[in-house]
Structure 1
Amino acid sequence: MNKLFRIAALACAISVGLTACEKNDDPIEEEDNGNYYKLIRVENLPIAPTDEGSEPNESGVYFYSLLENKSIPQDDVNSAHWDLAFGGMFTSFLSGNNGTDEGNHGVGSSAVGGIAIVEKEFDDVEQLPSGIEFKTGKDVVGTDDQGFFGAGMGWYLYDFNGTLVREGAEEDKHVAYALAEPITKKDGSVIQPRTVILKTANGDYAKIKMISCYKDLFKQEQWKKGAPIMYATFEYVLIPGDRNTFEIR
């Protein structure tokens, strides 16, 4: 009997072991976070009326949803469907969606968003900056004060005559230098990189890296007068409103 018992016990152990091994081999399903906690890249987004880009519209403003990662039609301007607006000069000024600010594009909606910008590289912005203040107006963040037509700390440097960064050749004029990376000016001074921080329409947070406004041209040495413009290329990480760490899962 003892021998039969040992054989039965061994068979049971082998069976349990095989079952455990089979169970451990099952693939682990990743958590579906939608568009949260991801590095999302938007490339060549047409943000001005062009022959092959956006259609002209009465407002001259273009809207984007970070939550859904898609453009939002003009008919939804007074809604919480969009998070980021492109408007103002050259359609290059950014703003958030806030329904309580009379000066906002989305006035009258339930949106609670706003926008800010920090002098810090995108990858170095690991958390929502402490005490950050979000501006709720329209066309808030655009040209930087260290270039022409500056309007505060901006996401790009506008070089009207082509001599701030380069030698002033014809193709150097009217170039918009995105400040995702540091830029050294002709006088030797360095403009530090910038990251846009957005509070979305529903109260989530995003950090945004504005990379270029030229079609298919993503490096500053490629930007020149006459290149196709305005096509926004940017990357962002979106987190829920009850979180403050811009992690990627």
Structure 2
Amino acid sequence: MKAICIPIIKKLTAMIFGSILFLSSCGEVYDLNAFEWEPETPLNDSVFNREITVLNFQPFEGVENIQQPSDRSPLDAEQPSTLFSLERFSRIHDAYTVSERWDLSIGGFGDITANSGSARGIGYGSNAVGGLVVLDTFYSKIMDVPAGIILEVPGYGGLDAQGTMSTRIGTTVYTYGGNFIRPDKVINRDSPDPVLAEEARMYSHMLYALSEELLRTFPNAKNIHGGPLRPRAMIVRTARGNYAKVEMLSYYHDILDPELMRRGLENFLVGSVSFRYMVIKAEELRFGFVERRPPLTIDMTRGTKIISDSLSN
């Protein structure tokens, strides 16, 4: 009888003790998966008025790249995270989807949406007021939030019509089985020489961010329709109502130079996403004349942060 009762008593005691801890904890709530909900902390002003470059954000790699204090419970490694906070320059666990803690959801083939609690989609039901619009211009040319601009809710920043037969404006082009930006690289895709055919394969089915660097590197590049390639940048309203300008840079791990981009095991298609942005407070509305802090570069896979010596021009 004792052998039966003692485990039961221990189990009940553990349940009661756990309930007491739950009720008495100061803002710390634990769910059945041992996820620790962290209290919201005040936003640090250091994020504003500086250019931030994020390298190697990996939307499909789970949550192992989330920086968390050593005394925190580990997050669920099987829970993928595609959410990113521009204001905290960090990825956000999917458990916070219905909250104001993230600003952009970044997915495959350049799909990007903002955090809006009022629109059906990711984040619906929160108090987030995010939105975005893709502009037909260079990132560096965006000096302010244009008067009367209409942001889409939750918005779309995916594939651009320059790489498809649609009319949708986006931040990225996909080359399908060829490469209309670098046609010289795929001329040997049907070559009987396996070396030449393999090299051509590495330059087909490419995903290019329509960045300033791409246009500078290939000024004569054509889109899929044969017209001149156009740059793209985004204006984003964050979940809390501030503004950011955002430019996608690369979908290849550790590669920002468009001339070096190609498919391969070391930089698999959409395995890593790199982008840059600047956040300003809602009341400022200007990007071009308020850069007061040195640029910051964050490598998500290495956990490194580098602050430049001086302000960028």
Q: What band does the TM-score fall into relative to the shorter chain?
A: 0.7 to 0.9
Which residue matches 2:124? 107
Of 194, 213, 233 in structure 2, the residue corresponding to residue 195 of structure 1 is 233
What TM-score do the two structures reach when normalised by structure 2?
A: 0.62
Q: 2:275 aligns with which of 221, 234, 245?
A: 234
Runs of 4+ that moved beyond 3 A:
52-57, 148-151, 186-189
**Most deviating of 146-155 and 198-207:** 146-155
Give 1:100's aligned amino acid. Answer: S
C-alpha separation between the residues in 1 aligned to 2:165 and 2:59?
Answer: 20
Aligned to 1:217: 255
Corresponding residue for residue 154 of structure 2: 137
Q: What whole-Å deviation, never above 9, does each CA across 1:78-101 have from its counterpart, x for those lacking one?
A: 0000011113xx262111101011
Q: 2: CA distance between counterparts of 1:243 and 1:67?
A: 15
Q: Deviations over 1:25-62 (max 9, x none)?
A: xxxxxxx8320111111111111238x879654xx661
- The answer for the alignment partner of 1:65 in structure 2 is 85
| Aligned residue in 1 for 2:106 | 86
Matched, 1:95 2:80: no
1:215, distance to aligned residue in structure 2 (A): 0.5
Separation (CA, whole Å) in 1 of partners of 2:81 and 2:159 = 17
1:185 alignment counterpart: 222
Alpha-carbon contact 2:109-2:158 (below 8 Å) kept: no
SS at match of 1:146: helix
Name the CA shift for 1:33/1:164 in 2 (closer, same or farther; >3 Å): same
Richer in helix (by share) = 2
Aligned residues of 1:44 and 1:232 also touching (Cα < 8 A): yes
Picking from 21, 37, 49, the partner of 1:37 is 49
How far the C-alpha of 1:107 sits from its partner, in A, is 0.6
Instruction: Tell me, in whole angstroms, the C-alpha distance in 2 between the residues paired with 1:240 and 1:195.
Output: 19
Tell me which amino acid in the other structure corresponds to 2:236: L
Partner SS state of residue 214, structure 1: coil
Partner of 2:28: none
Shift in alpha-carbon separation, 1:163–1:70, aligned structure 2, 3 A: closer
Question: Radius of gyration: which is bigger?
Answer: 1
Q: Does 1:243 align with 2:255?
A: no
Q: Which string of whole-angstrom CA distances, capped at 9 and with x for unpartnered residues, describes residues 186-210 of structure 1?
A: 7863212111110000000000111
Q: What letter corresponds to residue 248 of structure 1 in structure 2?
A: E
Distance change in 2, residues 1:233/1:71 (3 Å):
same
Partners in 1 of 2:82 and 2:144 — Cα distance? 28
Structure 1: give runs of 5+ residues left out of the alignment: 1-31
Does residue 118 in structure 1 map to residue 135 in structure 2?
Answer: yes
Paired letter, 2:133: A
Instruction: Give the structure-1-normalised TM-score.
Output: 0.77
Contact residue 160 and residue 174 of structure 1 kept, 8 A: yes
Partner of 1:170, secondary structure, is: helix
Tell me the alpha carbon deviations over residues 222-243 of structure 1, each in whole angstroms, 9 at most, x when there is no partner: 1112233321111111001112
What does 1:44-55 correspond to in 2, within 5 Å? Answer: 44-49=56-61
Whole-angstrom distance in 2 between the partners of 1:193 and 1:91: 17
Measured after TM superposition, the shift of residue 150 of structure 1 is: 5.1
Separation in 2 of the partners of 1:220 and 1:150?
24
Select the residue among 201, 205, 223 that pairs with 1:174.
Answer: 205
% of aligned pairs identical? Answer: 28
Contact 1:148 1:160 in 2 (8 A): no
More strand by share: 1
Q: Which runs of 5+ in 2 are unaligned?
A: 1-43, 67-76, 187-199, 293-313
